[in-house]
């Protein structure tokens, strides 16, 4: 076996090993929070990120509409039937964190047992309520109530609770519930009583498509069985993030397929047309496979799974990693070393290595980005490009034709570029001048879009269905939440005590219509202790109450339970863990979320009419905030985009340094780098003039433009001033840029906004880079040779 | 008083009150009670109740409560409109109105107005459903929640219908409802609580022919009548 054969065999074995690894570990995700900063500067942005991706997003609302005319009890029965079907469905049960189709059983008993012994801890305004005036007012109210049919309950509660604290707590329970849901026969129904309502929670994140796919399929299968039993007259509607994730995943898969096949077919046609043989296409396969597989493997190793956007980006990278094959092939075609392909490769290896190195260095700058998604793309690109270069060295010389033939088309391309390169100065200067003018005009008109929603593609039908379900049964704002954050739940509850007062004031001021708060049901332990102490430690209280009772015509002895309670030691306050150990857990669970290492108690609001005033009121409380999820993420995005720009500049400087280090002269350094930089600025300007908004991913695309543009510049700088090597390089730059533009052009045609954000600038920028690299190099050379210079 | 359980109890007790009004409603407005044939049994009584579409009556209620040194007395009017609207308007000693509709309970007193959606609690709804079933004379449904005993002394026009809750939570709130009447007229309702407290409501001036105008329906029951 020759050295070349051994090299190819070893390369093939290594490639196969990577392929096996990728196949065994391959897992795709579509979590859009991958493209949210992981170490947000502001706590608000962190909260917004956690709220967008955390426990709240794992809840699904299911609404089953009964046929018109169905009685409420029949609708309730359908809800019960569907719940049974859901629990029996294996794919649902495996993923189910909770399923509630009605209020929890035993909640009334739990309420009594938990609250009755601790009632003083729930006495709001305890100081005023236990004053003489407060006692008189309480007794008058009680007397009035006793005169009504309500006396049956009051007379049971009042002897130990003349302030009627427990009924107030029950009121808090009622107001903490979803207002547009009614209960019929123990089942949740929409207020119009025509649809059963169920709440489901999943164990996995809603963006975990692998987990959500069977789960949603299971829900639909369970519904189909119930629907069949009811003659196919039922209708199921969803609200929740899971289906959006599945839809996005399906879309991205489709996009990836389209980009991959488009790139492969396009590049194949291009190569066959230019080189007249499928052999060149065949020999690119190991190079492309190496780039793609190694990039994927690196991401799987580093992150455990790969994001769909990265995968699509990787598919586009096919067009990039093929550049090395093209460059080698063009030299083998037009400027080959008579000793063989390996020697031809050796002649251009320095340029290839430098080109690859500039690409890798450019992307390495992104590795320190705060966005997991960008780090993933950077790793994919750096590892993939390096692997493609290595595969070029390992595989290509052995697989290339010894004497490839030059097709007429290739000859025409070479001739055309040569004519341009030796053409009039004006022709050479025109693209450069035009690029400078366009940049000067367009750069000032760039509009940055930092809305994270702009990176997602939400199906309008699903969006409408989601909105309809929420407005029907859960009208509270999804995008605005009031958070009370603490190191632990007790601290968060203490903050929430203050939040509740602020929200009550906000309601009174008309800033918000409705509020769902946990405060009445579970004040902080500290507040409970304080209130209890006000009542229990007042040694004059019983005497004052007794005197007031006598004045108001009550039998004082009947209130003996109050006297006994006042003399008893204070009970331990009610804790979160006490409540969650009872059937009441289902009632309080939606209010608590983990925000990183902290705990937040949420308050839900609806009908915000004065967001600014509400925000001022809430934000004045330490540890609390009105979180506008989209707004906060957008602001964080803006900050990170600026930081990303700085990172990219660092990357560019590194690329420049690398090139300058290689040439140690300003002219070739300029020829290698300036076209790419001008192409990037022109691309931005053109997109801005075309009315396109740019985002964070556009920056990534620009980095690619610069990296690949510098490759072209480097190849041309290495090619010498004339002769077959320059012709070969010209051909290589044209073919490479067209093939890359094909890859990114297909990406730009994708439905997914994030893929478009990468594809459009990359395709445009790479094409401009090639044009400017060829013309600027010729122009610089011409100027260098002019008499004046 | 704004609470879920209180309104629940309210509904229960009102259910009793309402039953009384309806029985009155089917009775003759005037005439010799002894000459009027009394219902043979509970079924006959409910059958009569089912025929009533609206009524108005006056009431006097005395509450004998262990908490109070003297009984509380209140006076006012009852208004009923099928299907399932009842307004209990107290005129003395403190004006207050309690309105039950098929979906809500509304309390208006000197502290303001509170409306509670009866459908937010299944238990609460259960009580109100009982009420509606009394109005509609749905004996079968009522029998699911209450044991019923109908007593009529021989040779007398009077009778007593005792409803005893079968299970919790009704049993925790109420020991028995005793509806007494003459002929097909309910004259007294006694609500006995497990604590020993009781309220005695005496009903008079029943007008089972009362027809409420559209304005009255809106004012009293919140019913918007399409014209």
Confidence at residue B20, expressed as pLDDT on a 0 to 100 scale: 37
Looking at the DSSP bridge assignments, the partners of residue B204 are: B58
Beta carbons of A174 and B4 less than 8 Å apart? yes
Mutate to test the interface with A, among B78, B115, B120 (most CBs of A within 10 A): B120
Confidence at residue A447, expressed as pLDDT on a 0 to 100 scale: 86
Q: Which residues of B touch A143 (CB under 8 A)?
A: 68, 72
Looking at the DSSP bridge assignments, the partners of residue B190 are: B178, B200
Please give the Cα distance from A76 to A70 (Å, whole number). 10
* CA nearest to A102 within chain B: B122
Mean pLDDT score, A366-392: 85
Tokens found for residue A115: 């609250």
Looking at the DSSP bridge assignments, the partners of residue B104 are: B117
What does the DSSP 8-state code read for residue A554? B
Chain mean position to CA A205: 12
Q: Ranked by mean pLDDT, which of A207-211, A437-441, A721-725 comes out on top? A: A437-441
Q: Is residue B193 part of a domain?
A: yes
Q: Is residue B14 part of a domain?
A: yes
> Tokens 């509400």 identify what position?
A614
Q: Is residue B226 part of a domain?
A: no
Beta carbons of B125 and A184 less than 8 Å apart? yes
A721 phi/psi in degrees, rounded to 5: -90, -20
CA distance B72 to chain A (A): 6
Helix residue ranges per DSSP H, A26-71: 43-53
Q: Which residues of A touch B65 (CB under 8 A)?
A: 146, 151, 155
Cβ atoms A759, A748 nearer than 8 A: yes
Beta carbons of B174 and A152 less than 8 Å apart? yes
Helix (H, G, I), strand (E, B) or coil at A37: coil
Q: Is residue A503 left, alpha or beta, with left meaning phi > 0 and alpha meaning psi from -120 to 50?
A: alpha
**B69 → closest Cβ in A184, A189, A553:** A553
**A184 → closest Cβ in B72, B119, B199:** B119
List pLDDT tens digits, range A431-477.
999 999 999 999 988 888 877 666 666 778 888 888 888 888 776 66
The A-side interface with B (CB below 8 A) comprises 102-103, 108, 141, 143-156, 158-159, 164, 167-168, 170-171, 173-174, 177, 179, 181-186, 189, 191, 193, 553-555, 558-559
Does the pLDDT value for residue A789 go beyond 70?
no
Does the pLDDT value for residue A390 go beyond 70?
yes
- Which residues in chain B (39-78) have CB-CB distances under 8 A to chain A? 63, 65-70, 72, 74
Beta carbons of A146 and B5 less than 8 Å apart? no
Cβ atoms A556, A546 nearer than 8 A: yes
Beta carbons of B1 and A150 less than 8 Å apart? yes
Provide the domain limits for residue B79. 4-220
Cβ atoms A507, A643 nearer than 8 A: no
Confidence at residue A30, expressed as pLDDT on a 0 to 100 scale: 66
Q: Which residues of A touch B14 (CB under 8 A)?
A: 149
* Residue B190 near chain A (CB below 8 Å): no
Beta carbons of A170 and B5 less than 8 Å apart? yes
Strands A28-29 and A306-307 come out as parallel
Percent of chain A with pLDDT over 70: 91
Q: Ranked by mean pLDDT, which of A61-75, A80-94, B32-46, B211-225 comes out on top? A: A80-94
DSSP letter string over B69-102? SS-EEEEEEEEEETTTEEEEEEEESS-EEEEE-S
- Beta-carbon contacts of B80 under 8 Å, excluding residues fewer than 6 positions away, are B18, B21, B22, B25, B52, B54, B55, B56, B86, B87, B135
Tokens found for residue A737: 């840029």
Nearest partner of A481 among A44, A4, A42, A187, judged by Cα? A44
Nearest partner of A743 among A319, A209, A152, judged by Cα? A319
pLDDT band at A230 (very low <50, low <70, confident <90, very high): very high
Please give the Cα distance from A578 to A584 (Å, whole number). 9
Tokens found for residue A629: 């999820």
| Residue A401 burial by Cβ neighbours in a 10 Å radius (0-12, 13-18, 19+) | middle
Q: Which residues of B touch A145 (CB under 8 A)?
A: 1, 6
Helix (H, G, I), strand (E, B) or coil at A202: strand
Strands B54-64 and B198-207 come out as antiparallel
Better pLDDT: A419 or A172: A419
* CA nearest to B14 within chain A: A149
CA distance A168 to chain B (A): 6
* Arithmetic mean of pLDDT over chain A: 85
Does the pLDDT value for residue A491 go beyond 90?
yes
* Residue B111 near chain A (CB below 8 Å): yes
Residue A107: count other Cβ atoms within 10 Å of its Cβ: 18
Mutate to test the interface with B, among A79, A142, A148, A183 (most CBs of B within 10 A): A148
Query: Selecting from 3.30.200.20, 3.40.1190.10, 1.20.1640.10, 3.30.360.10, what CATH number does the domain A3-29+245-455+632-785 have?
Result: 1.20.1640.10
Tokens found for residue A730: 């010209």
pLDDT band at A50 (very low <50, low <70, confident <90, very high): low
Q: Is residue B227 part of a domain?
A: no
Does the pLDDT value for residue A118 go beyond 90?
yes
Does the pLDDT value for residue A784 go beyond 90?
no
List pLDDT tens digits, range A494-523.
999 999 999 999 999 999 888 888 888 899
Confidence at residue B132, expressed as pLDDT on a 0 to 100 scale: 61
Q: Is residue B102 left, alpha or beta, with left meaning phi > 0 and alpha meaning psi from -120 to 50?
A: alpha
pLDDT band at A54 (very low <50, low <70, confident <90, very high): low
Percent of chain A with pLDDT over 90: 33
Q: Is residue B206 part of a domain?
A: yes
Please give the Cα distance from B212 to B56 (Å, whole number). 9
List pLDDT tens digits, range A259-276.
778 877 888 888 888 888
Please give the Cα distance from B154 to A8 (Å, whole number). 114
CA distance A384 to chain B (A): 59
Confidence at residue A43, expressed as pLDDT on a 0 to 100 scale: 64
- Beta-carbon contacts of A113 under 8 Å, excluding residues fewer than 6 positions away, are A582
CATH number at residue B61: 2.50.20.10
Confidence at residue A360, expressed as pLDDT on a 0 to 100 scale: 86
Helix residue ranges per DSSP H, A422-481: 425-442, 460-473
A485 phi/psi in degrees, rounded to 5: -110, 145
Better pLDDT: A26 or A317: A26
Q: Which residues of B touch A147 (CB under 8 A)?
A: 63, 72, 74, 90, 93-94, 96
**A146 → closest Cβ in B72, B173, B195:** B72
Chain mean position to CA A317: 23
pLDDT band at A775 (very low <50, low <70, confident <90, very high): very high
**B63 → closest Cβ in A147, A167, A182:** A147
Please give the Cα distance from B179 to B83 (Å, whole number). 21
Low-confidence stretches of chain B (pLDDT beneath 70):
1-37, 119-137, 184, 225-227
CA distance B31 to chain A (A): 32
| Residue B205 burial by Cβ neighbours in a 10 Å radius (0-12, 13-18, 19+) | exposed
Helix (H, G, I), strand (E, B) or coil at A599: strand
Better pLDDT: A32 or A189: A189
Does the pLDDT value for residue A178 go beyond 70?
no
Tokens found for residue A666: 């300003």
Beta strands in A451-565 (DSSP E): 480-486, 512-516
Rg (CA), chain A: 35
- Angle A258-A732-A377 from CA coordinates, rounded to 5°: 45
Mean pLDDT score, A297-308: 88
Rg (CA), chain B: 17
Please give the Cα distance from A237 to B53 (Å, whole number). 40
User: How many domains does chain B divide into?
Assistant: 1
Q: Is residue B106 part of a domain?
A: yes
Mutate to test the interface with A, among B5, B128, B168 (most CBs of A within 10 A): B5
């Amino acid at each position: 076996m020759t050295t070349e054969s051994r090299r190819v065999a070893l390369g093939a074995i290594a490639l196969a090993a990577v392929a096996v690894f990728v196949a065994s570990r391959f897992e795709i995700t579509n979590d859009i929070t991958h493209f949210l900063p992981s170490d947000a500067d502001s706590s608000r942005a962190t909260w917004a990120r956690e709220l967008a991706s955390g426990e709240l997003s794992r809840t699904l609302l299911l609404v089953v509409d009964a046929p018109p005319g169905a009685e409420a009890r029949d609708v309730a029965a359908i809800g019960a039937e569907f719940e049974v079907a859901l629990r029996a469905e294996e794919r649902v049960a495996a993923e189910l964190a909770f399923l509630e189709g009605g209020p929890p059983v035993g909640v009334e008993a739990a309420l009594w047992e938990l609250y009755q012994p601790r009632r003083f801890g729930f006495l709001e305004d305890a100081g005023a309520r236990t004053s003489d005036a407060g006692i008189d007012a309480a007794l008058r109210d009680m007397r009035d109530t006793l005169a009504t049919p309500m006396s049956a309950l009051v007379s049971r509660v009042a002897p130990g609770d003349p302030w009627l604290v427990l009924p107030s707590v029950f009121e808090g329970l009622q107001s903490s519930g979803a207002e547009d849901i009614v209960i019929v026969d123990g089942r949740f129904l929409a207020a119009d009583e025509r649809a059963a309502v169920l709440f489901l929670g999943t164990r996995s994140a809603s963006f975990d498509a692998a987990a959500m796919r069977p789960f949603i399929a299971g829900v639909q299968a369970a519904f189909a069985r119930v629907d069949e039993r009811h003659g196919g007259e039922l209708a199921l509607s969803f609200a929740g993030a899971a289906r959006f994730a599945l839809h996005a995943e399906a879309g991205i898969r489709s996009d990836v397929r389209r980009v991959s096949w488009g790139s492969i077919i396009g590049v194949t046609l291009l190569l066959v047309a230019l080189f007249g043989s499928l052999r060149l296409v065949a020999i690119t396969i190991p190079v492309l496979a190496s780039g793609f597989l190694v990039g994927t493997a690196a991401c799987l190793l580093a992150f455990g799974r790969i994001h769909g956007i990265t995968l699509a980006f990787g598919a586009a990278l096919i067009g990039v990693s093929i550049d090395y094959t093209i460059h080698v092939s063009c030299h083998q075609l037009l400027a080959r070393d008579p000793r063989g392909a390996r020697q031809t490769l050796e002649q251009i290896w320095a340029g290839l290595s430098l080109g690859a190195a500039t690409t890798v260095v450019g992307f390495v700058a992104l590795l320190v980005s705060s966005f997991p998604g960008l780090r993933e793309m950077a790793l994919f690109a750096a590892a993939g490009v390096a692997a493609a270069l290595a595969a070029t060295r390992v595989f290509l010389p052995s697989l290339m034709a010894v004497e490839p033939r030059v097709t007429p088309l290739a000859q025409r391309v070479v001739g055309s570029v040569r004519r341009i390169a030796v053409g009039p100065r004006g022709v050479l200067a025109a693209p450069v001048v035009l690029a400078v003018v366009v940049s000067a005009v367009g750069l000032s008109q760039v509009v940055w879009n930092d809305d994270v929603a702009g990176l997602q593609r939400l199906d309008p039908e699903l969006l409408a269905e989601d909105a309809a379900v929420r407005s029907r049964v859960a009208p509270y704002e999804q995008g605005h939440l009031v958070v009370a954050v603490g190191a632990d739940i007790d601290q968060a509850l203490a903050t929430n005590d203050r939040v509740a007062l602020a929200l009550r004031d906000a309601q009174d001021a008309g800033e918000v219509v409705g509020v769902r708060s946990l405060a009445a049901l579970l004040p902080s332990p500290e507040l409970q202790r304080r209130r209890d102490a006000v009542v229990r430690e007042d040694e004059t209280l019983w005497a004052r109450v007794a005197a007031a009772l006598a004045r108001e015509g009550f039998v004082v002895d009947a209130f003996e339970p109050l006297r006994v309670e006042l003399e008893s030691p204070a009970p331990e306050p009610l804790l979160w863990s006490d409540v969650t150990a009872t059937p009441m857990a289902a009632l309080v669970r939606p209010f608590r979320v983990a925000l990183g290492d902290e705990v937040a108690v949420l308050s839900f609001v609806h009908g915000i009419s004065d967001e600014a005033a509400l925000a001022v009121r809430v934000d004045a409380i330490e540890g609390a905030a009105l979180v506008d999820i989209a707004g906060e993420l957008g602001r964080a995005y803006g900050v990170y985009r600026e930081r990303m720009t700085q990172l990219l500049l660092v990357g560019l400087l590194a690329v420049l340094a690398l090139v300058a280090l290689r040439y140690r002269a300003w002219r070739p350094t300029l020829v290698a780098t300036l076209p790419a930089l001008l192409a990037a600025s022109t691309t931005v300007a053109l997109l801005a003039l075309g009315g396109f908004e740019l985002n964070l991913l556009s920056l990534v695309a620009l980095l690619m433009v610069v990296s690949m543009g510098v490759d072209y510049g480097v190849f041309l700088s290495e090619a010498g001033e004339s002769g077959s090597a320059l012709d070969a390089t010209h051909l290589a730059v044209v073919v490479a840029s067209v093939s890359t533009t094909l890859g990114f052009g297909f990406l730009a045609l994708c439905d997914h906004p994030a893929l478009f954000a990468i594809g459009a600038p990359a395709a445009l920028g790479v094409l401009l880079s090639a044009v400017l690299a060829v013309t600027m190099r010729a122009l610089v050379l011409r100027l260098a040779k002019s008499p004046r210079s | 008083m704004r609470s879920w359980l209180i309104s629940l109890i309210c509904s229960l007790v009102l259910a009793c009150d309402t039953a009384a009004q309806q029985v009155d409603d089917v009775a003759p407005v005037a005439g010799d009670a002894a000459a009027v044939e009394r219902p043979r049994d509970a079924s006959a009584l409910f059958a009569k109740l089912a025929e009533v579409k609206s009524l108005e009556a006056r009431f006097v209620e005395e509450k004998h409560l262990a908490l109070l040194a003297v009984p509380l007395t209140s006076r006012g009017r009852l208004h009923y409109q099928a299907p399932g609207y009842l307004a209990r308007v107290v005129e003395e000693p403190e004006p207050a109105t309690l309105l039950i509709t098929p979906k809500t309970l509304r309390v208006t007193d000197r502290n303001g107005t509170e409306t509670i959606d009866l459908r937010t609690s299944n238990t609460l709804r259960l009580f109100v459903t009982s009420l509606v079933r009394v109005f509609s004379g749905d004996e079968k449904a009522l029998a699911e929640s209450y044991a019923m005993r109908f007593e009529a002394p021989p040779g007398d026009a009077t009778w007593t219908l005792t409803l005893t809750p079968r299970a919790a939570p009704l049993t925790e709130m109420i020991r028995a409802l005793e509806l007494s009447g003459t002929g097909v007229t309910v004259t007294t309702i006694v609500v006995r609580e497990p604590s020993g407290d009781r309220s005695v409501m005496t009903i008079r001036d029943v007008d089972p022919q009362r027809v409420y105008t559209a304005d009255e329906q809106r004012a009293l029951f919140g019913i918007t009548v399409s014209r």
